[in-house]
Structure 1
């Protein structure tokens, strides 16, 4: 257990070292882009995207296997299953021009708060209805302008081997209100590396983490958000079960 925790500490230090090493060039490019483009954060976001990719190359215990198309849809709501804290960097390594919600509050750390905002992360305080409405408006504007949103509809992480948790409505409401496609993604295996409620790696063996992107779902084919939600959840659960049967049988 001690070795696993030491390895986890090394992996965490490596992750943040890579982040901080590129903050100066990222902010420099951002400030230049700020003078010429409407979305200067796109320039900033390029740096963490490559940091995430580099991180998964360096950490030998995670073998990331992506099954995604060469060209990704834009102006879409990407909804993914959620087992581990490494799921966000996984998605951030290949989805461009996105905003994503988190319930982890880093607003009290100035540089972390600013950097997270430029990367595309928005802290959502669900108890503040005004803040929730403001966040929803920002996400809706993002989609209306042909950009992407990443949401983990479970709102939390499920344990490896468990069924998906109950989905929240926000992703599906956004899709219907903006006529944006839903892009379902199954992430399977990340919970076998780093699970909810445990800061230490569960294994020191190399672990495959599979990422499968499914076909876009057109919200116009559904009567309302509840029907769209149920369909998407069943689709993700069925694909997750199918993948687990192939991978672990």
Structure 2
């Protein structure tokens, strides 16, 4: 990220407060990195003592600060992937991404509202019309920024066949990638997302299932609703980890999705998502790095033992992540 030099005090304060920096490196456009300079204590940087003016005087001939985030390359050596260093262009791409997705959502949401009464009358559980609109929205949003490659389309169950889909969760972009598949998947989302204008309202129309993560009663209601959807021919989608991974390594799978599959006889369809965490890392939703996304759809699993289904799906996805590097 490239930041302007002025005002120095506010800039350095922002560096330390917002990005947890260990140091700020100063560069000259013409000569490259400056000779090693004194690294001031954080308290000295925030005060108007002589040390601050020393920093000001040493920097006034320079044109920019180059800031490295701790999160770029953070984690243990065993981390699944190295998070890319983000630059100003990634920040600009992020702003453009949200501008595009918001603009497209406004126009398509109107179509959803107009068609919703007919959807409730004719297609209450599948809501195919709404999912078709969502596919257009996701495709138009991601097309200018990154490409998506899909492997294993032949493994998808028939479109109107009930199934339980599960996937690893790396990024906010996972939802966009999955919507481009064009399947009528009933996702599960935390209740706060439904308060977002346009997008949250569209999720309600699509039949996305709300969940309060720390509320056991809400979790039970969510599972019951998923069971009802599957029994009536619909499909549901779970991120069994429950939250996004910040380093690419999968967390332990929760068994709710696999219990639904075991009780209803619906197949479990494991999906591996690759690349979304590098383009928009978890916790850094304001940036959008260059890259590409791959969706690998694995063969459906059948069984009546939730534990066995859970372990098999976990192994399939984790092994694929290792294979993809």
TM-score of Structure 1 vs Structure 2, range by shorter chain: 0.7 to 0.9
- Cα distance in 2 for partners of 1:37, 1:172 equals 26
- The answer to whether the Cα contact below 8 Å between 2:156 and 2:297 also exists between their aligned partners in 1 is no
**Structure having the higher Rg:** 2
Report SS of the residue matched to 2:172.
Answer: coil
Report SS of the residue matched to 2:192.
Answer: coil
Partner of 2:93: 7
- Cα distance in 2 for partners of 1:113, 1:85 equals 14
- The answer to whether the Cα contact below 8 Å between 2:105 and 2:198 also exists between their aligned partners in 1 is no
- TM-score, normalised relative to structure 2: 0.67
- Cα distance in 2 for partners of 1:33, 1:230 equals 37
Q: Deviations along 1:83-136, whole A, 9 cap, x unmatched?
A: 110101111221422211123613445755432112232221022232222211
Partner of 2:204: 117
Check if 1:170 corresponds to 2:251: no
- The answer to whether the Cα contact below 8 Å between 2:126 and 2:234 also exists between their aligned partners in 1 is no
Partner of 1:191: 277
Q: 1:24 Cα shift?
A: 1.2
Q: 1:44 Cα shift?
A: 2.1
Partner of 1:132: 219
Aligned length: 236
Structure 2 counterpart of 1:201, from 278, 287, 301: 287
For residues 45-194 of structure 1, what are the structure 2 equivalents within 5 Å? 45-59=131-145, 62-69=146-153, 72-73=156-157, 74-103=161-190, 105-109=192-196, 112-160=199-247, 162-194=248-280
Structure 1 residues 89 and 112: CA distance shift in structure 2, 3 A? closer
- Cα distance in 2 for partners of 1:165, 1:107 equals 25
Partner of 1:236: 317
Q: Deviations along 1:163-192, whole A, 9 cap, x unmatched?
A: 211111111111111111110011011111
Greater RCO (Cα-Cα under 8 Å, separation 6 or more): 1
- The answer to whether the Cα contact below 8 Å between 1:101 and 1:124 also exists between their aligned partners in 2 is yes
Structure 2 gaps of 5+ residues are 2-87
Runs (4+) off by over 6 Å: none
- Cα distance in 2 for partners of 1:87, 1:144 equals 26
Structure 2 counterpart of 1:217, from 301, 304, 320: 301
- The answer to whether the Cα contact below 8 Å between 2:164 and 2:261 also exists between their aligned partners in 1 is yes
Q: 1:231 Cα shift?
A: 1.7
- TM-score, normalised relative to structure 1: 0.86
Q: 1:79 Cα shift?
A: 0.5
Structure 1 residues 54 and 200: CA distance shift in structure 2, 3 A? same
- Cα distance in 2 for partners of 1:22, 1:202 equals 23
Structure 1 residues 70 and 233: CA distance shift in structure 2, 3 A? closer
Partner of 1:227: 308
Partner of 2:37: none
Q: 1:37 Cα shift?
A: 4.2
Q: Which moved more, 1:79-88 or 1:103-112?
A: 103-112
- Cα distance in 2 for partners of 1:131, 1:191 equals 29
